[in-house]
Structure 1
């Protein structure tokens, strides 16, 4: 009976030890599994490679500047500005001082154009403009020059003479003109008119007879047939005593007009109070 009890007790103790051992083993396995799982779930991060130092920019040799063609475009533009100024001043020039300034402006423009080198893109244009500018300067210098000596009495075609302007009509000068050595009449001096016209009243006073009929352009642009008469002489201030054919204007025309056919061979400068004539 005692033996059976001892055996039973021993068996129970053994079973307990076995169960404990089994529990321990199971715990160790679970811990191992948990450790393994943790290791797999959270892998050890590999060390971050150290950042390579930013390479310092190596100084690069500046490229040699490409040679550029020599240019004086500013010089050309400056010359054009001065030439424009000369034209502007010339449009309103009256006195000799005005024309002297115009001549000076042209001279400056010419000097600038001459300084432009052959390598400049404007060189050819500058060379083309030079003769024109030189002519403009010469004309301005002529108008700026003091008048020559007064022509001798009786010299009807001197190198230079001037006539006074009595008044202006629509900005056009009015001067006295003598016909056939008899009588003076006021006439418009219009450099844009090619032919001389007299009024019907002048023709009647002088007893002019028509020698032909000619189609003539008048101020309003129309063409009209007008009688043509011959004047034995037309003169201004005793100068340019010439025989000229004149057209007789319609009665509606109140004042005659002295045309270019009267002062052929002369250059004319209209100033504030006088008109100057210079032989070409």
Structure 2
């Protein structure tokens, strides 16, 4: 049985045919295909980059974290960006029969949910929680919206919202209410449908859940019930797609045959081309 270090060395040194596909990946693929029905096959990039992602994000109780909150946030942001790049490669390396019901952001959510439950055994082997398959298939947020907004991601988006509200609209938030983040997640999941009149009340609930410290009384009196503030929030969420960069649709991945059949070097060139474009 190969240890973690041996596996990582193999990923860098051996070609596709020489990599021994571990049981951890076979279990991952079995669960993944039960959710993403259109997933047809994988290649070397799928296996290696998924392993790198698990190693990158694996939580170890013996890890030491910077005492400074600023440094912790900086390290977390760096790890998050590295993880996003790895998952982008994983998703694009998979061949799909046709367009999936899940967009790219949804497929990434499925991968994250599976991977976060891997643990490292005493023999340096990755083991997947036996309940993971059941939990994933019954995840209410994933089933309803076809993707998951994780807590860390939600905090990042709220920080962007708060910054926009203060710098552009001159409204300062004092504190969040008990239900603020729950309402915020709900209106983010509405996406462009937030502009429909029937969803306006959801924005109002979010607006009222916040305690405000300062506001421009001339432009936005009583911001917790101000209709103009409601309009601005709706417009900004539509404009910024929920305060996050737009995720491309899985339809772009249907023509990944070349990548699926390529060698490691060819696959890396393909990835570099994607990033350049």
TM (normalized to structure 1)? 0.24
If each structure's strand is expressed as a fraction of its own residues, which one has the higher value?
1
**Over alpha carbons, which structure has the higher Rg?**
1
Question: Comparing both structures, which one devotes a greater share of its residues to helix?
Answer: 2
**Larger RCO of the pair (alpha carbons < 8 Å, separation 6+):** 2
